[in-house]
Amino acid sequence: MVAAQEKLNQLESTFSTDVESLFIHTNKDKFAVGEYLWFKAYAFNLSKNTPNNEAISAEVNVFDEKRVLISSKKYIVTNGVFAGEFKIDTTFIDGTYYLQAHTDYMKKQGFDSHTKAFQVLKLPFEKEDDYASSQLNLQILPEGGHAVYGIDNTIGIKLINANGLGEVFSAELLKDGKAIKKIKSNSFGHAKFKLKPKKKATYSVQVMTDNDVSYTKEIQDIHQSGITLQLNPLIPDVLYVELQKNYKKDQSRYALIIHQFQKGIKIDAEFEDDISKLAIPKEKLFEGMNTIRVFKDGEPILERLYFKNTDDVFTFEGQITESKDEVKDSIRLKLYFPYDPSQKMLSASILPSKTESYSNKSTIISNLRLANYLRGTIENEAYYFGENTAQRNYDLDLLLLTQGWSKYKWKPAISKENLVNANRRNGLNFKVLLDEKPKSTDEFLLFHGSIFNEAKVVYINKKTTEAEFLNMYPVIGETLKFSYVNKSQSYKAPELSLELQDFTIDTILSGNLPLLQIIKDTGTLNMNNASEAFINTDVLDEVIVKGVKTPEKNIAKTGGSGRYYAIDDQTIQTTRNLAFFLNKRGFIAYDYNGSLTISSTRSSAANAGPVTVVLDGVELMDFSFLAGSKISQFESVIINKDGIGTRFPGGVIYLESRKSSFLGDTSNSMFTEIKVENGYDSTKEFYNPVYINYDDAFFKKYGTISWAPQILIGEDNQILELVFKNPNMDYTLFVEGVGSDGKLYSYQIDQKVN
């Protein structure tokens, strides 16, 4: 079957570019004005089923229900994750909103952004009439894509209301107006039946909802000739596939291609008496979603999706201990994870157990394993990934029968219309605009480095008043420092400003919008105990997360253990340059002909690795530009010769650029500081509004106890410790996350108050 094999080769080649996706975990999805929406985002490589550590930057936008952009932020992705927040301030009126996120790479590939719905509550709640069940949409969906006369067909039916939610129904299959079969849907309004239609007969489906609404629809577009596909996925170890055709004298060649992005297998289909039966061992299939396509002479004619169970984690199987600190009115919760050598990155929302603010209808497992592969929206997608039961497996396959058209279309994939050769974006570019031309003695412009940016040197074109800095990661609120450096290696503050070159945001809400169950009148809340439930003031709530600590690139001056030296006037008068200063304090520093090398005199440190230099909190990968630096250019120096207490075993030198004058000269300004106003947003600490009463109905249903986004569990530490305010009530942890091995985690932990 050469033609089908060529198509498989083309498909694998097309998907050689990894397919990237995002999942957003929010602390809840129903908010009152004055609260914060907190989130943690996970970048995932769908092609390799692993966290995507190659993701660099992402954009998160908030749209209202009219698809109008409300707010937008950019984030730096670190180790495949990032976290942030949006304040639900007075610009938000009650209604439905959408949080949409994508990496720049996803945008270039043309794939859908991840969209999550949330609701801003109208207080007090108002009763609303629901007429959705009287506005029904009945869909008739043959398995594989079409029905054919004279052979066996499996027909799926799906009944949804005006809100996009399934309606439970009973139905009858009618032939020429007479009932020939009774049908019953599952709880999502999905059902299926077998049919061997005869020519010249008319077939229709008549449904009756639980609200006594009746609806009838004819089965149309039955093909005169063709092929049908039927799957039997419920046998434990084997997937049975049956193909039937209703025409003779057929010399065509048929094959199945089963694929998952870059991976694929081809199986030839041989017909006997116009029927081809295939038994495929499930061990040969791919974990998660499998796309099955039937080919006739190399052209795809039928499609079906099949899901093979994964080893993702749905329940916490470790041990839990809880203790209370009566003085600080807090709870200390320890989770002891079962040993696992892989690293786990998790986030946890801690809410009252009676909460109605966390729908839990979409999880990281249901989104990345299921929703990412299907067109359209899925009602309560998380249901399909609970306890592995026969009913759940049946319902999942029924979903794939009635809604199982792959989001990744075959023809655009083959022609590479969607999968372009997308290069990852490396930060933002900005121009430094100089107020005047540099002097002839000014050799280069030095950027001192910042949280996510290494120090950089740009040699000056004396004929222009601007310099370009590429692939930068400016964080809003941080201060960037720039200096002129002349031929004698002296620093001087330039007069300049910054101009961001390519700071753009998406203003269009794209893709399918998720379903959100709107909160209506509960009969328990009124204006007094809802809108006045908390003081509209931001205060830091005590939240402590203990796990494996990720080394930070940004090191504060006081964070470096070692001996501290203030560079005062006396030191400046008696010390020529930085190299001379270091040579007097246990290092071997050579400063010659524009080159600076530093090594340790201590054998233990020297054998452990090179000396590290940290300038203004940023570890320097290359400190050669410090050659010829005068000691007067620094405010202080911290020296740790052996690197004890740090992650630098070869020894570390912390340099702080000068901010104050020296030798009585107030004109000795050595750098210019510019505060970043546009750029990437920073991850902020968790803040909570001060609730007036933790025992009222509003807090129990819609309040927030805590949010812990940066949980990291490593091989050498399987314990998670959370400390948060004592709510004096039962509470629930909603946990989402991903392991370094690609395993996904989604579960809730219910804790009873003692």
Q: Does the structure show a pLDDT above 70 at 147?
A: yes
What percent of the chain clears pLDDT 70, i.e. is strictly above it?
85
Q: Is the pLDDT of residue 548 over 50?
A: no
Mind listing the pLDDT tens digit for each residue in 240-260?
Answer: 999 999 988 888 889 999 988
Segment 162-180 mean pLDDT: 92
Q: Is the pTM of this model over 0.95?
A: no
pLDDT for 337 equals 94
What pLDDT does residue 730 have? 94
User: For the segment 292-311, what is each residue's pLDDT rounded down to a tens digit?
Assistant: 999 988 888 899 999 999 99
**Residue in 597, 577, 618, 6 with CA at minimum distance from that of residue 266:** 6
What is the number of residues in the chain? Answer: 754
Q: How confident is the model at residue 606 (pLDDT cuts 50, 70, 90)?
A: low
Strand partners, 240: 232, 279
Alpha helices in 407-456 (DSSP H): 410-414
**Which of 51-60, 204-213, 435-444 is the least confident region?**
435-444
Identify which has the larger pLDDT, 754 or 620: 620
Whether residue 319 is predicted with pLDDT greater than 50 in this model: the reply is yes
Q: How far apart are the first and last CA of the chain?
A: 67
Q: Are strands 69-76 and 81-87 parallel, antiparallel or unpaired?
A: unpaired
Q: Rounded CA gap, 666 and 645, in Å?
A: 37
Q: Among 72-76, 492-496, 501-505, which stretch is predicted with the lowest mean pLDDT?
A: 501-505
Among 159, 199, 161, 197, which residue's Cα sits nearest to residue 181? 197
pLDDT of residue 717 exceeding 90 = no
CB under 8 Å, gap of 24 or more: what pairs does 168-171 form? 168/209, 168/210, 169/207, 169/208, 169/209, 169/210, 170/207, 170/208, 171/205, 171/206, 171/207, 171/208
CATH class of 12-122+506-539: mainly beta
- In whole numbers, what is the pLDDT of the chain averaged over residues? 83
**pLDDT exceeds cutoff 90 at 182:** yes
Q: What's the pLDDT tens digit per position in 282-291?
A: 999 999 999 9
On whether the CB atoms of residues 459 and 443 are closer than 8 A, the answer is: yes
Strands 719-725 and 330-336, how do they pair? antiparallel
The yes-or-no verdict on residue 409 having pLDDT over 70 is no
What whole-number distance in Å separates Cα of residue 348 and Cα of residue 361?
16
Residue type, 466: E
